[in-house]
């Protein structure tokens, strides 16, 4: 029997290699191990159901990510174009200032009519932007908010609380709930004591 089965019984721990009983016990142990390693049909079904549930969950996550990206592309797809279009408003403002500072046009009817036309164009542009959820930031007389404003200068003012915006250098805009560009502003600060200011002026003169 031992020769027919060709079993290396020397590897059997604590068993007599010269008995049929030892060989029989060894084979029974091997069968038990095989039975434990082999999964039942129910276990296989549960495993497949788990894998299927994980696959569906991953597919749902991918679908949601795709929907979010699609919505953002639809809502903010014109972000770059809108930012570039703000240059039109900036150029209009610069043109108005240049005309106002031109001494040859000062107090003339031509200047007055030109400024009126530029103001109409400016209002039309703002209206078009507003219809597309591009809105100017209202900042004057409000506290500085780093999320929407960028302080460029400090201006002494004893009538305003320090950090209040008292000058708008460049208008800021939002697109929907996002910042398109911040408002460039001047904020108030407490006036320096006259003694300190005189001392500072004296030091500056001495350095020169």
End position of a domain, from candidates 102, 132, 162: 132
Is residue 117 in some structural domain?
Answer: yes
Residues 152 and 97 in one domain: no
> Domain of 98?
79-132
- Give the chain's domain count: 3
Specify if 172 maps to a domain: yes
Q: What is the DSSP string of 84-122?
A: HHHHHHHHHHHHHHHHHT-TTTTT-HHHHHHHHHHHHHH
Decide if 108 is inside a domain.
Answer: yes
The answer to the question of residue 53 being in a domain is: no
Q: Can you give the pLDDT at residue 7?
A: 47
Query: Is 102 in the same domain as 158?
Result: no
Residues 127, 143 within the same domain = no
Asked whether residue 148 carries a pLDDT value surpassing 90, the answer given is: yes
Alpha helices in the chain, H assignment, sequence order:
2-5, 20-37, 41-76, 79-100, 109-131, 194-207
112 and 172 share one domain: no
Q: Give pairs for 18-24: CB < 8 Å, separation 24+.
A: none
Q: pLDDT band at 5, cuts 50/70/90? A: very low
Q: Look at residue 70 and tell me if it is in a domain.
A: no
Q: Are residues 116 and 160 in the same domain?
A: no
Residues 125 and 143 in one domain: no
Cα–Cα distance for residue pair 79/85, rounded to 1 Å? 10
42, part of any domain: no
Report pLDDT for 9. Answer: 45
Q: Looking at the domain assignment, is residue 128 inside a domain?
A: yes
Question: Do 93 and 141 lie in a common domain?
Answer: no
| Residues facing residue 135 across a β-bridge | 174
Residues 28 and 14 occupy one common structural domain: yes
Edge-to-edge strand list for the sheet holding 134-136? 134-136, 173-175, 178-181
Q: What is the pLDDT of residues 96-127, one digit of tens each?
A: 888 888 888 787 888 888 888 989 988 888 88
Kindly report the CATH number assigned to the domain that includes residue 151.
2.30.22.10
Q: Which tens digits make up the pLDDT trace of 66-102? A: 676 666 655 666 777 888 888 888 888 888 888 888 8
């Amino acid at each position: 029997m031992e020769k027919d089965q060709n079993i290396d019984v020397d590897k059997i721990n604590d068993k007599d290699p010269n008995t049929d009983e030892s060989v029989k016990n060894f084979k029974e142990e091997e069968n038990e191990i095989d039975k434990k390693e082999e999964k039942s049909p129910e276990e296989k079904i549960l495993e497949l159901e788990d894998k299927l549930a994980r696959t569906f969950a991953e597919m749902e996550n991918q679908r949601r990510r795709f929907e979010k990206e699609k919505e953002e592309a639809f809502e903010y797809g014109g972000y770059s174009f809108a930012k570039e279009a703000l240059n039109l408003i900036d150029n209009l403002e610069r043109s108005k200032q240049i005309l106002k500072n031109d001494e040859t046009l000062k107090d003339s009817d031509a200047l007055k009519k030109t400024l009126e036309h530029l103001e109409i164009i400016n209002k039309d542009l703002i209206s078009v932007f507003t219809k597309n959820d591009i809105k100017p930031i209202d900042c004057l007389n409000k506290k500085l908010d780093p999320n929407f404003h960028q302080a460029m200068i400090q201006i002494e003012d004893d009538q305003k609380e320090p950090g209040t915006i008292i000058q708008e250098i460049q208008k800021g805009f939002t697109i929907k709930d996002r910042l398109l560009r911040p408002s460039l502003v001047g904020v108030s600060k407490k006036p320096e004591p006259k003694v300190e200011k005189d001392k500072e002026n004296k030091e500056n003169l001495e350095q020169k």
